[in-house]
Every structure is written in structure tokens, then in C-alpha cells.
Amino acid sequence: MIDWRIEAITFGNCNCERNCPCQFELDPTQGHCRGMEVGEIERGHFGDTRLDGIRYAVTYAWPGPIYEGNGEMQAIIDSRADTAQRKALKTLLHGGEVEEAATHWWVFHAMSDTIHETLYLPIAFDIDIEARRARVAIPGAMEATGGPIVSPATGEEHRIRIDIPHGIEFDIAEIGVASTRATAAVALDLAGSYGQFNRIHHTGQGVVRNRMV
């Protein structure tokens, strides 16, 4: 297995309610799953290839719960990436060079029958995890925004986090509200649904834990 490590800030949006049932081992709100993840690598390498500063996105859809499979997915990689960086990220986003079921990328790929052609496009991405705010623009492919949950009773921002000590994606994620319109191979039209703001720290052995569990 190639030695690799990725530390990234990420933003995700799916069609579920704000308390995404998948995080609680329940079936999705509407019975099916459609969503996306966008990230920016703060520090990372794949063998000798540095990945710092490179952005990526993944769109996906399943006709039922993820664990039932029959899904589709598409990776989008920062057009600034050189040939080696593109090859590395395509491998990782497709669940390669990792122990079985050790990361969410491995699971998403394994549960997808259709793997669409990888796109290489400019990715504009701004995120503030603690503030639960994000904005994404990928010309010709995706636009997305995320913000905090606002209490209907007080009009104030409501902060809530999901903590998964043994998860395959993150330790802790800030939860908000997000909307996405994607027009590439996996079409998305999401409005005011589950928004996720978090950091990931992955290696070929899975999620790196930075705290006691």
C-alpha cells in the first residue's frame, strides 16, 4: 500500500433532514440518498506527491440506503492539480490504497455500480467550520452554500455537533443547513437540507483519531 495522508477541511450536503439519519444508522429521510462533499487539503501527500492546497468534490446518489448499493458517483478534481496530483486524488476518492471499509470514500465507491468520468475543473471554495458557513462554485458543475441552523423560536443561530468516535469519515462535525445545485453526471437540487462542516484526517489505515475516545 502506498503511504498517504490527507488532512482537509470539508463541507457536505445531502437530501436528508438536518439530523441526517445515516449518522445514526437509520435509513435516509426520503428513502434514498443524494449528496456531495467538497474539500480543501490543508496538508497531504500520496507517496512523494504533495497534495497541499488542492481542492476536490464528490457527488453521489443511491436509490435506497447507501448500504444497499446500486449507486453512482463522480469525482471532481481541482484543475490546478498536476498530473501526479490528479492520479493520486482520483485513486483516493475512488477508495483506493486503503484498508477495506476504513474510509467513507472506500464505502461510497464500493456501493456504487456506476463510476462516472472524473472531471478536472476550477473549484472555488470558502468555509468557516465553527461559523457553519461555506460557499462552493465549480463552473458548469456545481454551486452550493451552507449556513447555520436558525431557531424559529428565538431567531438566533443554533449550534449542534455530531460526535462519532469510531466513524469512518470524521470525529466531530458541525451541523447546519445547506443547498446545492449540481448539473454534471450526478444531478442535485437540494434546498435547506442537511449541511455538514468538518475536518477529516485520513490515511490508508482509516481515520486518524486526535483525541481520546
Distance CA 189, CA 87 (A): 29
Closest CA to 142 of 20, 35, 9: 35
Where are the alpha helices (H) located in the chain, listed in sequence order?
83-93, 104-110
Number of independent structural domains in the chain: 1
The answer to whether 156 and 29 are in contact (CB under 8 A) is no
Q: How far apart are CA 180 and CA 101, in angstroms?
A: 27
Quick check: is 12 in a domain? Answer: yes
Using the Cα atoms of residue 45, residue 5, residue 77 and residue 96 in order, give the sign of their dihedral.
positive
| Mean pLDDT value of segment 130-141 | 98
What's the average model confidence in pLDDT over 114-133? Answer: 98
Quick check: is 85 in a domain?
A: yes
The pLDDT tens digits of the residues spanning 68-121 come to 999 999 999 999 999 999 999 999 999 999 999 999 999 999 999 999 999 999
Does 208 reside within a domain? no
Q: Is residue 91 part of a domain?
A: yes
- Considering the domain boundaries, does residue 141 fall inside one? yes
pLDDT digits (tens, 9 = 90+) for 146-175: 999 999 999 999 999 999 999 999 999 999
**Spatial CB neighbours of 60, under 8 Å, sequence gap ≥ 6:** 33, 34, 35, 36, 71, 72, 73, 74, 108, 112, 186
Q: Coil, strand or helix: which one is 102? A: coil
Cell of 5: 495522508
The whole model's pTM is what?
A: 0.96
CA distances from 21 to 28, 56, 110, 204 (A): 6, 25, 20, 27
- 140 is in which domain, residue-wise? 4-201
Tell me, yes or no, whether 42 lies in a domain. Answer: yes
In sequence order, what are the beta bridge partners of 118?
Answer: none
Within-domain flag for 197: yes
- Quote the longest CA-to-CA distance of the chain: 53
The tally of CA atoms less than 13 A away on the side-chain side of residue 129 is 16
Residue 211: inside a domain, yes or no?
A: no
CB 147 within 8 A of CB 157: no
Q: Is the pLDDT of residue 22 over 60?
A: yes
